Structure 1
Amino acid sequence: MKTLMIYGAAGYTGRMTAGHAKAAGLNVIVAGRDAAELAKLALDLGVDHRVFALDDDATVDAALSGVSVLLNCAGPYIRTAEPLMRAAIRTGTHYLDIAAELDSYRLAEKLDAEAKAAGVMLLPGSGGSVAMLGCLAGHVAERVAEPRSIRIALHVSGSMSRGSAVSASENLTTETLARTNGTLQGRSPEDIRSFNFGKGPVDCFPVTLPDLITIWQATHVPDIETFVHVSGDAFPEGDLATLPDGPTEVQREANRYQAAVEVTGAGGSVARAILDTVNGYTFTSLAAAEAARRVLGGEVRPGFQTPAGLFGNGFAETIADTRIIDL
């Protein structure tokens, strides 16, 4: 039976993902650096565990022995993505993660040729907003003749986990980017746009999301802009170390996520849709486990791939009660 390793499994999202993967009947190894927490999690789930850091290539390669698919849930990804992607290529292990930082996707682009030569797939963003927004954008782009531009916004609701907050604080992109004529270019951070997530128009501010890479990769639409609307205490301030591990189940259920997209065609035609789904942490853990299941089952293309490009634009709607509503 093929084996899935979840690195960072002792973290908030990693634990949830490991539970979903085990419930799906996958052969799971939980891994990371926290020996005590991993041993406890492995005992709770009835799975094996491996403890290793990422500062020695030989150690990482040995730890991946017998592993078919590696799912990286250990942020900040600026520290973990490169050693694990490179190890995956060296050992012939397909790589997935749940990163939301642009640098991880730029790295996957850079390593695309090496991964293809090794027959290895790099699938960053296998769960989370990259899967949500990619499926929404691809779905609507199919309705437009010669799509030329995509404007897409994510509504982030509720609180962050401690790990997500630390990752975000270490990976804030100082430059606000958009994709124009197929290339990433700077843009004004003051370019506020209005989107309707289903309860009336709200202001959304431009941000640099990895979807500037993944939506381009999947659709080749030349002009792409990404925005965010934040409600609640989604971006905490102060000492991040004092934050709770993550939102409770009750808090997650009370804070669903939405996304909205506007796709414009060469002739000026416009199509819009919204996506409504469960809380981002719930979606991410479910989607990452499902992506791993499908990759273990043989849904693989070597090189840098995206969830929507690999699994199709309907992937997001297979997760929980996610639905896309055409407007």
Structure 2
Amino acid sequence: MTDIVVYGAYGYTGALIVKEARKQGIQVVLSGRNEEKLKKLSQETGFSYSAVDLNNKEALHHLLQDAKVVIHCAGPFQQTAKAMVEACLATHTHYLDITGEYQVFELIHGYDEAAKNAGIMLLPGSGFDVVPSDCLAALLKARVPDAEKLQLAFAATGGGISRGTSKTMIEGVGEGQVYRSNHQLKTKPQGESIKDINYGPFKKLSAGISWGDVSSAYFSTGIPNIEVFTGSSKKQLKALKWAHRLRFFLKINWVKNFLKKQADKKPAGPSEEKRENSHTYLWGRAENSKGTYYEARLKTPNGYTLTSKATLLFASKILSGIFRPGFQTPSSAYGRDVILEIDGSQFEKAA
């Protein structure tokens, strides 16, 4: 029986997960659309492979029918998650993915009852997006149980982003910043929310972004007002404001396709050396209606390194029978301290 299928295995992050699985001695089956790339990765790792198009429902069901867990790595997930989740429900296969797209959390949350009936867990955001920030949100909720407002932020030292991340960002360019207000998702102009944040080792100007936590942290904590920021610069903030002015132009498909082709010309993602020398710092604040608040920070390894370890950690827990059927977030499934099972991660109270 196949225990774990990694779909999108030859993408930058998928390949990191596969190589980490080999390092840990965890058997996986490689899958995705491109047989040539799968064959190459199979030769490098020794894992078997099966080329399957997500649009081929019969082939996808055949791939998953003997699997216990799928780690879905083929984004943008707004375009791919639905087919994979529905295949998992049909084949009773547990679902993990590495999305940070709030739309995908909203989509998959709608399958909660179906997943419970199938006896499987649907856990989107099982990588850097959104394991550390979700665990930080859960810690803040525990400190301020009646919190009405949650702010989360992250910034990295060194590193960089992958082509896949770039393409996902291009999909959302010009859409504005999504945040949660009084339980509802709302949008404001990009570059409007700016905050100077102390991440611990450094302070950094940070800009509001449409991050998965506006949904995942909401499902985890129930806090009605949520906003997420990321470390930025004056130059990047200026670019965000220009993106808002040009938002209608940036929504045109040929413009997005052009930008994606430019992304394809860049390296697949940060090198191993850059990942090893990079860390991510998170900050969060929860506040109630009386003004009582608590701030905390979290340090983790590079986001891509964390993703490779967290997805396999969750898959291993599922294989051991440790899971909660239905839609889950990282903290609802495994508690806020699950992030501490990733070496190099630690919480601290913000001064």
TM-score by length of 2: 0.87
Q: Quick check: 2:204–2:232 contact (8 Å CA) kept in 1?
A: no
1:253 and 2:254 equivalent? no
Q: Which residue in the other structure is 1:207 paired with?
A: 209
Is 1:216 paired with 2:218? yes
Shift of 1:84: 0.6
Report how far residue 310 of structure 1 moved.
0.6
For residue 99 of structure 1, what is the aligned residue in structure 2?
Answer: 99
Deviations 1:121-166 (A, max 9, x none): 1100011131010011111221224222111111145321122212
Query: Could you say which residue in structure 2 is the equivalent of 1:19?
Result: 19
Tell me the residue number matched to 1:143. Answer: 143
**What secondary structure, in the 3-state scheme, does the structure 2 residue paired with 1:202 have?**
strand
Q: Determine what percentage of the aligned residue pairs are the same residue.
A: 32
What are the equivalent positions in structure 2 for 1:18-167 lying under 5 Å apart? 18-157=18-157, 158-167=159-168
**Across the two proteins, how many residue pairs are aligned to each other?**
327
1:235-258 deviations in whole A, cap 9, x for unaligned? Answer: 999811111111111112233211
Q: Partner of 2:130: helix, strand, or coil?
A: helix
| Letter aligned with residue 60 of structure 2 | V
Question: Match for residue 295 of structure 1?
Answer: 318
Structure with more of its chain in helix, by fraction: 2
Deviation readout 1:175-228 (Å, 9 max, x if unpaired) = 322222222223354121221111343221111111011111111112211111
Q: 3-state DSSP class of the match of 2:87?
A: helix
Moved over 4 A (4+): 233-238
Q: CA RMSD in A?
A: 2.3
> 2-side partners of 1:156 and 1:238: how far apart?
26
Q: How does 1:189-208 map to 2 (within 5 A)?
A: 189=190, 190-208=192-210
What residue number does 1:310 align with? Answer: 333
With structure 1 as the length reference, what TM-score do the two structures score? 0.93
Give the match's secondary structure for 1:314.
helix
1:285-317 per-position Cα deviation (integer Å, ceiling 9, x unaligned) = 111111111112112222210011111101112
CA distance in 2, matches of 1:263, 1:173: 29
The worse-fitting range, judged by mean Cα deviation, of 110-119 and 85-94 is 110-119
CA distance in 2, matches of 1:145, 1:117: 31
**Aligned counterpart, 2:252:** none
Distance 2:42 2:262 in 1: 31
Gapped runs of 5+ residues in structure 1? none
Contact 1:21–1:293 (8 Å) recurs in 2: no
SS in 1 for 2:298: strand
